[in-house]
Amino acid sequence: MRRHDFEPGKLVIGLVLLGGCAAYLAAAAGRWHFPAYVLLPALGIALCVSGAVSALAVSVRRRRDPAGRDDRD
C-alpha cells in the first residue's frame, strides 16, 4: 500500500468537528451549557484556517521540489 501525504488542513478541520461534537455531547449530558449559535461561526472560521493551512502546506511542498516532480510512483 502506498503511503499518503500528511494533510494538516484535514487535521485542523477534524479537530474542530470533534470539538463541536464533544460540546454537543456535554450539553446533552447537562454538564455544559453553551449558545448553539456559536458553533456555526466557529466552523466557518475553522474552514478558513484549514484552507490557509492547506495552502501553506502545498507551497512548502512545492518549494522543496522546484522541478515539480511527482515521486509517488
Mean pLDDT over the full length of the chain: 84
The interaxial angle of helices 39-64 and 8-29, nearest 10 deg, is: 160
41: its cell numbers: 461561526
Q: Is the dihedral of CA 11, 43, 34, 31 positive or negative?
A: negative
What pLDDT score was predicted for residue 69? 59
Cell of 25: 455531547
pLDDT digits (tens, 9 = 90+) for 6-41: 889 999 999 999 998 998 899 889 988 888 788 889
Cα atoms found within 13 Å of the Cα of residue 25, Cβ hemisphere only: 6
* 55 compared with 1, residue with greater pLDDT: 55
Please state, in angstroms and rounded to a whole number, the distance separating the CA atoms of residues 11 and 50. Answer: 8
Is the pLDDT higher at 71 or at 51? 51
